[in-house]
């Protein structure tokens, strides 16, 4: 009986510790998010600053290999990994970068949703981005490529903007910078593959089809 009480006591202590850790961690993420956007007043200033921060901090893991020589691909997007990913060099692909951006944005009161981009006729997602709600518009945020996508009104572009004018993808300086590093980005077809058929983007979290 005494042993059972001890076991139960330990279990309660562990659960309480996890609860405190989780809540402390959320406070730490909020503090980091506040630090990153310090001096930012508008929605777009905060969204751009957080996008840049995640892009700079979360390196792609292509160069990190397992002992067998295969790529060490991070599979999870668990929110409690947010600070480890930006501080400990965990890195991440588009999925993980989007998850971290969303976690930081949430702490600034920015509503976001994760978006998987699909090629027409394909069941496999070729890229993951997020959309942030600015007023009544869902604007595109792409942390991995750090694209500055601007519509004709000088605002952050939405998928409808891109559907109406694909030059929004072709022309931004960030695309040209990528082309300097990798010539394949000079080819419109590469962007068409990634951002193909914006009107048929599939959404998650919001339950849209």
Provide the residue-wise pLDDT of the chain in tens; the chain has 209 residues: 455 444 444 443 444 444 445 567 788 889 999 999 999 999 999 999 999 998 888 766 554 444 555 544 455 555 556 676 666 655 677 888 888 899 999 999 999 998 887 766 666 667 888 999 999 999 999 988 888 888 999 999 998 888 788 778 766 666 556 555 555 555 555 665 666 554 444 444 443 33
Closest CA relative to residue 46, chosen from 34, 57, 63, 32 = 34
Helix (H/G/I), strand (E/B), else coil: 203: strand
- For residue 118, the cross-strand partners are 125
**Which tokens go with 4?**
């059972």
**Which tokens go with 183?**
């010539």
Helices 94-106 and 43-57: crossing angle, nearest 10°?
140
CB of 112 closer than 8 Å to CB of 133 = yes
CB of 106 closer than 8 Å to CB of 96 = no
**Which tokens go with 151?**
């519509």
């Amino acid at each position: 009986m005494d042993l059972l009480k001890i076991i139960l006591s330990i279990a309660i202590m562990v659960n309480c510790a996890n609860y405190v850790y989780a809540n402390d961690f959320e406070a730490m993420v909020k503090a980091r998010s506040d630090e990153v956007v310090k001096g930012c007043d508008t929605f777009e200033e905060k969204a751009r600053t957080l996008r840049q921060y995640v892009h700079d901090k979360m390196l792609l893991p292509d160069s990190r290999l397992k002992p067998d020589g295969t790529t060490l691909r991070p599979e999870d997007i668990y929110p409690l990994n947010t600070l480890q990913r930006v501080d400990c060099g965990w890195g991440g692909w588009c999925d993980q970068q989007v998850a971290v951006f969303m976690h930081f944005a949430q702490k600034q009161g920015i509503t976001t949703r994760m978006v998987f981009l699909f090629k027409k006729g394909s069941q496999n997602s070729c890229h993951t981005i997020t959309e942030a709600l600015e007023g009544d518009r869902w604007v595109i945020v792409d942390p991995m490529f750090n694209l500055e996508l601007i519509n004709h009104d000088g605002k952050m572009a939405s998928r409808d903007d891109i559907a109406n004018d694909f030059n929004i993808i072709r022309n931004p300086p960030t695309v040209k910078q990528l082309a300097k590093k990798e010539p394949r980005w000079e080819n419109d077809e590469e962007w068409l593959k990634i951002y193909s058929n914006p009107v048929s983007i599939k959404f998650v979290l919001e339950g849209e089809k």
